[in-house]
Structure 1
């Protein structure tokens, strides 16, 4: 089992963002976005490098194919944020409150998601490498057809996860606070779990194998 490498983000001295709105294909370098409402704005294809976003609203914000590099996002919130096919590298996402985030087809490398709660996270066909979910709550995350390599769930509550057609390599689930997989339990090859977790997953595993379990009589 190879451990996930965590991001080591060291932000430079930042300049406050003062342009009002984001722009498609914009280039944002060394900026601080604080308590800014980006609801409904379009920043598709934009690049964020060495930036801090704190307390920002991202409701229906379009960030499709954006590149987020060496950034820290703290206390961001929103529903329907579109990050499909985005690239996140060396990113820390702290105490987020998000719902319906679209990250399908995205690439995440050296990403830490710590604290907060994310409902209906869509990571279908995404590629995750060196990603840590720590002390957060993930409700109905969709990892369908995704590739997870060196991914760890530490103190994380995982509710109704979907692993359909996913590929797992060195995925550490042993320290998950709660492990609930409703679909794709047969894709757990490449992951490591504890004996108590195995017992908890037994009904789902039996169902996936077509195994009927009856009483002694």
Structure 2
């Protein structure tokens, strides 16, 4: 008799973008963007706290130092976006896909992510401190030094991705699946993996980190 899986998988976003109107122009504080496509634009340095994106496509846009604190992204796809220092602190992302992003220093601390897929690309120094992640999938993406400190992760999957020097200090986990993570490197917070599932091979790889966390000295 087959064993039932003990880790509940993430629910992925399900949405179909409607026919979109092309949008040209800048981002504005509390701006309302509904059913539009933003393609190939440079939004570097623009400040749009509280902006709302619903049924939108953001494609091949530059987001360097864009201020989107408290923004809301719903039923939205971001594809090929790039930028350093994008500020999405305390933002809300629901039913969102981020595809092939090349970003660094993204601020998502205090944000709420629900039914979000991040697929492909590379994100350096992702700041998710004290964020809430539910039904989130990281797939085929390189995450260099991501910070999950104090965050809550529920039904989060890491699939075929590289997790380099991750910080899970103070994190809380439930149904977090790390078994298919291609590279699993935890710099801090290995003691917070209660609620996560790893493979036997990953357990062996992490043995020195577990030993150091509980003060065990290993000598030949």
Write out the 4+ residue segments of structure 1 that deviate beyond 6 Å after TM superposition: none
Normalised by the size of structure 2, how large is the TM-score? 0.97
- Equivalent in the alignment of 1:71: 76
Residue 9 of structure 1: how far off its partner (Å): 2.1
How far apart, in 1, do the equivalents of 2:155 and 2:198 lie? 14
Counterpart in the other structure of 2:4: none
Q: Is it true that 1:17 corresponds to 2:23 in the alignment?
A: yes
* Unaligned stretches of 5+ residues in structure 2: 1-6
- The count of aligned residue pairs is 214
Question: What are the Cα deviations for residues 172-192 of structure 1, in whole angstroms up to 9, with x where unaligned?
Answer: 000000000010000000000
Q: What is the Cα-based RMSD across aligned positions, in Å?
A: 0.5
- TM-score between the two structures when normalised by the length of structure 1: 0.98
**How many angstroms does 1:8 deviate by?**
1.0
Residue ranges of structure 1 left out of the alignment (5+ in a row)? none
SS of 2:107's equivalent in the other structure is coil
Cα displacement string for residues 42-71 of structure 1 (whole angstroms, at most 9, x for unaligned residues): 110010000000000000000000000000
**Post-superposition offset of 1:214:** 1.4
Indicate which of 176, 194, 197 corresponds to 1:192.
197
Q: 2: distance between equivalents of 1:146 and 1:114?
A: 21
Matches within 5 A, 1:1-217: 1-18=7-24, 20-215=25-220
1:22 is displaced (CA, Å) by 0.6
